[in-house]
């Protein structure tokens, strides 16, 4: 793998970015901090959307709704009582549920079934700020399109599918890969991995935090939740993504102080809450 040259990228700093998290007014209410809608959790994959939804709450979103399979709706709520969860089977129900939200995350546990396709196309038709992850990216790879109002968060294998190349090609030149992804798909691109990269058409940013213990299932779902939660609170797409990647990686480093092996995505949650309250 070709290393990312420092002159090719701007290094992100959590100490600088956390200043965006201003103290809350004493008269604030939940409506001041946005409403996230997360779409996913197909049969057998409920955990992914639960992780994303809790991360949105932990980063400070005022309200979080989940659109999932009807079989999972009550289970999601039992897993995290503060979530508002609905079983959704068609695009009309999805549109009705989305009317009060200001950002949508689609992909965690979405799968690639007929239901998945209906939900994915329904989300894209809503014309709202959108974060696309996991199976949402796999569905996008089958029918490429461009949108300046979304965030795409591929890991190297998903990036390879989006660009119709090999994972080795992506890793050989990650900076060139993320630039190609942004040119082809638009919006803000997050190329996950060791030294996560962010690109929205101008500079390429790199996050140097993070550790190998984060190479476990569910970590990407947590990142999706953090990004959507920050966008919901009024930060711009690029600023939300930069701050979210830093929070995610730094939380992972704090959780890894107890050891990298056996580190779980859910272990990040208390550290996420700490980090968004340190300024």
pLDDT band at 5 (very low <50, low <70, confident <90, very high): low
Q: What is the rounded distance in angstroms from the CA atom of residue 217 to the CA atom of residue 70?
A: 24
The CA distances from residue 73 to 38, 39, 61, 86, in Å, are: 12, 12, 20, 5
pLDDT digits (tens, 9 = 90+) for 117-160: 999 999 999 999 999 999 999 999 999 999 999 999 999 999 99
The Cα–Cα gap between 201 and 9 comes to: 13
Model pTM score? 0.96
Average pLDDT, the chain: 96
The answer for residues whose C-beta is within 8 angstroms of residue 215's C-beta and 6 or more apart is none
CATH class (in words) of the domain with range 6-21+30-275: alpha beta
Cβ–Cβ < 8 Å for 41, 83: no
Write down the pLDDT at residue 4.
55
Domain boundaries along the sequence of the chain: 6-21+30-275
């Amino acid at each position: 793998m070709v290393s990312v040259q420092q002159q090719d990228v701007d290094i992100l700093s959590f100490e600088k970015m956390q200043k965006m998290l201003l103290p809350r007014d004493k008269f604030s209410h939940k409506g001041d901090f946005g409403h996230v809608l997360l779409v996913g959790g197909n049969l057998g994959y409920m955990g992914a959307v639960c992780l994303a939804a809790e991360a949105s709450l932990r980063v400070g979103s005022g309200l979080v709704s989940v659109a999932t399979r009807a079989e999972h709706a009550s289970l999601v709520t039992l897993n995290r009582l503060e979530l508002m969860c609905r079983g959704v089977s068609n695009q009309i129900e999805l549109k009705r549920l989305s009317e009060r939200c200001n950002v949508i995350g689609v992909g965690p546990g979405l799968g690639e079934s007929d239901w998945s396709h209906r939900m994915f196309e329904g989300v894209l038709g809503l014309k709202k700020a959108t974060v696309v992850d996991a199976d949402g990216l796999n569905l996008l790879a089958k029918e490429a399109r461009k949108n300046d109002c979304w965030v795409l968060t591929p890991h190297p294998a998903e990036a390879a599918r989006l660009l119709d190349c090999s994972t080795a090609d992506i890793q050989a030149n990650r900076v060139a890969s993320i630039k190609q992804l942004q040119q082809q798909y638009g919006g803000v691109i997050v190329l996950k991995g060791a030294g996560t990269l962010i690109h929205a058409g101008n500079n390429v940013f790199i996050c140097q935090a993070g550790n190998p213990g984060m190479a476990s299932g569910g970590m990407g779902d947590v990142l999706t939740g953090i990004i959507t939660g920050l966008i919901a609170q009024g930060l711009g797409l690029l600023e939300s993504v930069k701050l979210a990647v830093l929070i995610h990686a730094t939380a992972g480093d704090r959780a890894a102080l107890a050891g990298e092996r056996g580190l779980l995505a859910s272990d990040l949650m208390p550290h996420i809450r700490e980090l968004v309250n340190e300024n």
